[in-house]
Amino acid sequence: MMRPERLAHLLDRYAAALELYARQWCAVPEDVVQEAFLKLVQQAKEPDNAAAWLYRVVRNGAISAGRSARRRQQHEAKAAFAADWFSVDESQRLDAATVTAALSHLPDDQREPIVAHLWGGLTFEEIGRLMESSAATAFRRYDAGIGDLRRRLQWPCPTKPTA
């Protein structure tokens, strides 16, 4: 097990340089460096060359974090521009950026079933399992979220009378 003084020395000596090194691959270098030091502390025996070991772990973690962020951004971009899902007809088309902004204001427990159902194609039973609730609860949260979106977007409900 690594002595606290040794860990403090390695942190002081390498943390800033490792963050700079990780920044070339990801936007969260601090997190990657912190994870690397946690992995170092968990080692049964300190590596022979701790600095080289840290650089390798940081490099791998930063590349992985960068790839993950790019995949997430691509997925979010595709979802944000799926405005056709919200259009009633061409004259009343909703703007994807406006819908995305409105979605971001919903509570997580309402936004999650909307995204999972509309973009993910999941059933309410599947969403219920995902959210650790019943299908009925998942539907109620979905319905409440859709109602909130309609109010935020001032979008009339085609099946319900408007007041």
Is the pLDDT assigned to residue 119 strictly greater than 70?
yes
Which of 32, 30, 31 is closest to 16 using CA atoms? 30
pLDDT tens, position by position, 75-86: 877 766 654 555
Share of the chain above pLDDT 70, in %: 85
pTM (global) more than 0.85: no
Q: How far apart are CA 121 and CA 82, in angstroms?
A: 13
Residues in contact with 103: Cβ distance below 8 Å, sequence separation at least 6, in sequence order: 111, 114, 115, 149
Q: How far apart are CA 102 and CA 133, in angstroms?
A: 24
Residue 142 binned pLDDT confidence (cut-offs 50, 70, 90): very high
Is the pLDDT assigned to residue 156 strictly greater than 80?
no
For the chain, where do the domains classified as CATH 1.10.10.10 start and end? 81-153
pLDDT tens, position by position, 63-113: 999 999 988 888 877 766 654 555 455 555 667 778 888 888 899 899 888
Q: Which top CATH class is 4-77? A: mainly alpha
Contact 130, 122 (CB under 8 A): yes
For the chain, where do the domains classified as CATH 1.10.1740 start and end? 4-77
User: What's the CATH number of domain 81-153, 1.10.10.10, 3.90.550.10, 3.90.1300.10, 3.20.130.10?
Assistant: 1.10.10.10
